[in-house]
């Protein structure tokens, strides 16, 4: 299956390829892939596997950003969903566990959406509430302990494989596919972009901006809960303090790398996933190069600034002037 | 009157909360608890003063917690490993922090970037820099540190007003004067109202934006010094997530996140409110520490909802007045 490349995606694809090539230069075994126990292994596969939670978060975040919003609570929602999944895993059937965890994510998203769309609170602040309180709620569920489980069904979501591909990768790819079909295949994407570009004009044009806004936050909560399940299944447990910590920032970074404007109105689902994978490839590269993982944050900071500078309206004005100058 | 309503409500809720705590645990009325409330929240209070300026100007600064972490590690290394005298190290770190904030402000203004994402990058950068300096927790044994932690004003009733508590009170006092009584403060309010009209009035928007973020980072550096004195150590993971506590304190204090509206005294009450929740949980003993987060979240929600409601009421009354016409 191939999806149409977005017209504006070339710099992002180039950046991803460059990061991969740097990794290859640093560690010649980077592209080595081997099959073991019916599952593919290797650093290259690992980029996709480890990048899955952030990729899922960025799939939710990208739509929120498209409506001129932001969702700071995704890390906390991950912690809540992971805590619920890990607590129920050994005593309940898998469908119950998944329904409970995903349902909690949907509820969190609904809460954020109502605060933003109905009460009219700025998105940063509305989602800040759940970001602060959410981790407390997650700790309430795990009673402050690190809950572990042994259920092999749930563990498959982290370490299992389908046709040789790790389950997190398959899961992310299917969520991306479903989202692209549902959002770009219908007028939904247009409605979301219109809401972000000018909410008032869209409302006057007959778009249900309120419902659209609530829906994107609910979607973001759902994606975050899915990421939380994957993260919990990966380590066979839930740590309410550290699960998803700072991942909201990675997700925002992925969306920014994807070229979505933080002022809303344009977005690309595929590029957001690519952005998340680029971040993960950089993380892997830093580790492979033998640098201490502490370099991660500094490198990320520099990348954010460079991407923002490249997107800055002032700087593009300069570029236009330079281009116009007669040679 | 409506201008003061959020602060009055915050004060009333704080008084009510304190009364409930005092009814349950009479020890709450002792000067010991009050003095500790100031000492334990000194670093948060100093950060909140800077954040009040930033939020009133219509911005946000997510980097403050990381700057605190960086400062503590830098101080510990400078004093213990590099042998720089403590006071010189303080000056140096304040200079670095101020330059850091001024750069963020210049980027926000110069390239027209959202403050949220620029200070997010600043947060990564400062935290990463402190990881690069050291990932260990380094104790500080300089004589100045023990002298500072030993020195305190004794209050009647056994309370000890510590140096860090006094520094916080002084910063709040100075911040209140700068915000409410100087031209700089008036310009901060103007920026929060509308950047475009502020520029049209002839105020140098760029220089003021740089100055506001420089002030916030300077105070974050000062808060780092206070944190370093308070814990007598430097650790790169200290003050993680404190930026959110700081924003919460400012919001609970009645400052509007859209900018242009707020008071320094409100922020002071907001900081004390967070301290009160923490102290109550410590006194109770059976409640776990994660209740702090949940209660803070609930308070945050209550105050934001209240702000939205008063705003909506104000708008309705304005609309009602215009509908009736300006008949005397």
Smallest CA–CA distance, residue B293 to chain A, in Å, is: 5
With H, G, I as helix, E, B as strand and everything else as coil, classify residue A276.
helix
Q: How far is C-alpha B121 from the geometric centre of its chain's CA atoms?
A: 20
Residue in A125, A136, A263 closest to B291 by CB: A136
Which residues in chain B are contacts of A126 at CB distance < 8 A? Answer: 304
Reply yes or no on whether the pLDDT at A70 is more than 60. Answer: yes
Residue in A136, A295, A314 closest to B293 by CB: A136
Q: Do A297 and B111 touch (CB under 8 A)?
A: no
Q: Do B132 and A295 touch (CB under 8 A)?
A: yes
What burial class does residue A325 get, using C-beta atoms within 10 Å of its C-beta: 0-12 exposed, 13-18 middle, 19+ buried? Answer: exposed
pLDDT at res. A1: 39
Q: Do B117 and A256 touch (CB under 8 A)?
A: yes
The chain-wide mean pLDDT, for chain A, equals 84
Place of tokens 């705003």: B311
- Tell me which of A69, A112, A131, A132 to substitute to probe the interface with B (most B C-beta atoms closer than 10 Å): A132
How many domains does the structure of chain A reveal?
1
Smallest CA–CA distance, residue B304 to chain A, in Å, is: 8
Mean pLDDT (whole number) for A281-286: 85
User: Would you call B313 an interface residue with chain A, using a CB distance cutoff of 8 Å?
Assistant: no
A148: part of which helix (H) or strand (E)? strand A147-148
The torsion defined by the Cα of A295, A301, A303 and A304, in degrees rounded to 10, comes to 160
pLDDT at res. B28: 84
Q: Do A140 and B290 touch (CB under 8 A)?
A: yes
Chain B residue with Cα closest to A124: B116
Q: Do A301 and B128 touch (CB under 8 A)?
A: yes
Q: What share of chain B is helix, strand, coil (3-state, %, to 5)?
A: 75, 5, 20
Among A20-34, A52-66, B17-31, B255-269, top mean pLDDT goes to: A52-66
Smallest CA–CA distance, residue B291 to chain A, in Å, is: 6
Which residues in chain B are contacts of A256 at CB distance < 8 A? Answer: 117
Q: Do B297 and A126 touch (CB under 8 A)?
A: no
Mean pLDDT (whole number) for A86-92: 88
User: Would you call B128 an interface residue with chain A, using a CB distance cutoff of 8 Å?
Assistant: yes
Smallest CA–CA distance, residue A244 to chain B, in Å, is: 13
User: Would you call B308 an interface residue with chain A, using a CB distance cutoff of 8 Å?
Assistant: yes
Residue B134, CB-side half-sphere exposure with 13 Å CA sphere:
20
Which residues in chain A are contacts of B316 at CB distance < 8 A? Answer: none
Smallest CA–CA distance, residue A190 to chain B, in Å, is: 25
Q: Do B298 and A133 touch (CB under 8 A)?
A: yes
Which residues in chain A are contacts of B111 at CB distance < 8 A? Answer: 308-309, 312, 314-315
The residues pairing with B181 across neighbouring beta strands, listed in sequence order, are none
The chain-wide mean pLDDT, for chain B, equals 86
Residue in B127, B129, B257 closest to A125 by CB: B257
The pTM is what?
A: 0.83
Q: Do A136 and B294 touch (CB under 8 A)?
A: yes
Q: Do A314 and B107 touch (CB under 8 A)?
A: no
How far is it, in rounded angstroms, from Cα A2 to Cα A52? 19
Reply yes or no on whether the pLDDT at B251 is more than 80. Answer: yes
pLDDT at res. A323: 57
Which residues have a Cβ under 8 Å from the Cβ of A102 and sit 6 or more positions away?
A81, A222, A225, A226, A229
How far is it, in rounded angstroms, from Cα B326 to Cα B328? 6
45-64 in B: which are within 8 Å (CB) of A?
60
The residues pairing with B162 across neighbouring beta strands, listed in sequence order, are B152
Instruction: Please state which architecture CATH assigns to domain B5-320.
Output: Orthogonal Bundle (1.10)
Which residues in chain B are contacts of A135 at CB distance < 8 A? Answer: 290, 293
Chain A residue with Cα closest to B289: A136
Smallest CA–CA distance, residue A179 to chain B, in Å, is: 26
Domain that holds residue A93: 36-291
Mean pLDDT (whole number) for A302-318: 69
Reply yes or no on whether the pLDDT at B215 is more than 60. Answer: yes
Q: Do A297 and B128 touch (CB under 8 A)?
A: yes
pLDDT band, very low/low/confident/very high, at A227 (cuts 50, 70, 90): very high
B234: part of which helix (H) or strand (E)? strand B233-234
- Residue, of B177 and A323, whose pLDDT is higher: B177
Chain B residue with Cα closest to A135: B293
pLDDT at res. B154: 78
Which residues in chain A are contacts of B127 at CB distance < 8 A? Answer: 297
Which residues in chain B are contacts of A304 at CB distance < 8 A? Answer: 117, 120-121, 124
Residue in B107, B112, B308 closest to A313 by CB: B112
CATH code where residue A151 lies: 1.10.3470
Chain A residue with Cα closest to B237: A294
- Residue, of B320 and B125, whose pLDDT is higher: B125
Q: SS3 sequence, A202-227?
A: HHHCCCCHHHHHHHHHHHHHHHHHHH
Helical ranges in A185-294 per DSSP H: 188-197, 199-204, 209-235, 247-257, 269-288
235-274 in B: which are within 8 Å (CB) of A?
244, 247-248, 251, 257-258
Which residues in chain A are contacts of B293 at CB distance < 8 A? Answer: 132-133, 135-136, 139
Q: Which of A139-148, B294-303, B312-321 bottoms out in mean pLDDT, i.e. has the lowest?
A: B312-321
Reply yes or no on whether the pLDDT at A203 is more than 50. Answer: yes
Mean pLDDT (whole number) for B234-259: 84
Spell out the domain ranges in chain B: 5-320
pLDDT at res. A201: 87
Buried b (16+ CB within 10 A) or exposed e, B33-69: bbbbbbbbbbbbbbbbbbbbbbbbbbbbbbbbbbbbb
Of B139, B138, B164, B140, nearest to B150 by C-alpha is B164
Mean pLDDT (whole number) for B60-70: 92
How far is it, in rounded angstroms, from Cα A103 to Cα A260? 28
Smallest CA–CA distance, residue A126 to chain B, in Å, is: 8
- Residue, of A238 and A57, whose pLDDT is higher: A57
User: Would you call B112 an interface residue with chain A, using a CB distance cutoff of 8 Å?
Assistant: yes
pLDDT digits (tens, 9 = 90+) for B128-170: 888 888 888 888 888 888 888 778 787 777 778 888 889 999 9
ipTM score assigned to the predicted complex = 0.75
């Amino acid at each position: 299956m191939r999806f149409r490349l977005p017209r504006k995606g070339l710099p992002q694809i180039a950046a991803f390829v460059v990061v991969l090539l740097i990794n290859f230069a640093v560690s010649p075994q980077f592209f080595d892939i081997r099959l073991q126990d019916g599952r593919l292994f290797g650093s290259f596969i690992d980029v996709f596997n480890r990048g899955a939670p952030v990729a899922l978060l960025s799939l939710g975040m990208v739509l929120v950003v498209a409506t001129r919003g932001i969702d700071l609570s995704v890390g906390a929602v991950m912690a809540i969903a992971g805590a619920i999944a890990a607590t129920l895993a050994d005593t309940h059937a898998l469908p119950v566990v998944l329904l409970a965890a995903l349902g909690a994510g949907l509820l969190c998203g609904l809460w954020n959406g109502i605060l933003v769309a109905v009460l009219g609170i700025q998105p940063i602040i509305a989602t800040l509430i759940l970001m602060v309180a959410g981790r407390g709620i997650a700790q309430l569920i795990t009673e402050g302990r690190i809950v572990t489980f042994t259920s092999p069904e749930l563990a498959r979501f982290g370490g299992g494989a389908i046709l040789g591909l790790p389950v997190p990768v398959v899961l992310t790819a299917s969520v991306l596919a479903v989202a692209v079909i549902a959002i770009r295949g219908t007028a939904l994407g247009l409605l979301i972009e219109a809401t972000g570009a000018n909410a008032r004009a869209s409302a006057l044009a007959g778009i249900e901006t309120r419902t659209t806004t609530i829906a994107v936050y609910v979607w973001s909560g759902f994606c975050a809960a899915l990421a939380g399940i994957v993260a919990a299944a990966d380590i066979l447990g839930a740590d309410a303090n550290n699960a998803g910590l700072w991942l909201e920032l990675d997700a925002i970074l992925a969306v920014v790398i994807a070229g979505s404007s933080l002022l809303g109105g344009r977005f690309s689902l595929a590029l957001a996933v690519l952005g998340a994978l680029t971040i993960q490839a950089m993380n892997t590269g830093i580790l492979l190069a033998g640098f201490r993982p502490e370099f991660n944050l500094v490198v990320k900071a520099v990348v954010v600034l460079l991407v923002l500078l490249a997107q800055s309206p002032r700087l593009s004005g300069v570029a236009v002037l330079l281009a116009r100058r007669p040679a | 009157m409506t201008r003061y309503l959020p602060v009055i409500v915050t004060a009333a809720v704080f008084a009510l909360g304190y009364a409930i705590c005092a009814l349950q645990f009479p020890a709450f009325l002792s000067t010991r608890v009050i003095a500790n409330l100031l000492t334990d929240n000194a670093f948060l209070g100093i950060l909140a003063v800077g954040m009040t300026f930033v939020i009133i100007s219509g911005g946000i600064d997510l980097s403050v917690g990381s700057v605190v972490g960086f400062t503590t590690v830098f101080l510990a290394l400078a004093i213990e490993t590099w042998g720089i005298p403590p006071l010189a190290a303080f000056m140096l770190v304040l200079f670095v922090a101020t330059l850091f904030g001024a750069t963020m402000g210049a980027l926000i203004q110069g390239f027209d970037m959202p403050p949220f994402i620029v200070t997010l990058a600043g947060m990564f950068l400062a935290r990463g820099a402190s990881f690069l300096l050291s990932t260990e927790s380094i104790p500080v044994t300089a004589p100045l540190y023990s002298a500072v932690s030993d020195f305190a004003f004794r209050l009647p009733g056994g309370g000890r007003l510590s140096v860090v508590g006094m520094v916080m009170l002084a910063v709040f006092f100075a911040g209140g004067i700068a915000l409410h009584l100087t031209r700089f403060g008036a310009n901060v309010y103007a920026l929060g109202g509308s950047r475009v009209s502020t520029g049209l009035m002839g105020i140098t928007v760029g220089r003021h934006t740089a100055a506001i973020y420089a002030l916030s980072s300077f105070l974050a550096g000062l808060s780092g010094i206070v944190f370093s004195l308070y814990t007598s150590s430097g650790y790169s993971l200290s003050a993680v997530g404190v930026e959110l506590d700081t924003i919460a304190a400012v919001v609970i204090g009645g400052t509007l996140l859209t900018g242009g509206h707020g008071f320094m005294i409100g922020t002071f009450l907001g900081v004390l409110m967070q301290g009160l929740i923490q102290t109550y949980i410590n006194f109770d003993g059976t409640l776990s520490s994660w209740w702090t987060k949940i209660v803070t979240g609930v308070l945050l929600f209550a105050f934001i909802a209240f702000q939205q409601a008063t705003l909506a009421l104000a708008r309705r009354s304005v609309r009602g007045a215009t509908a009736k016409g300006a008949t005397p």
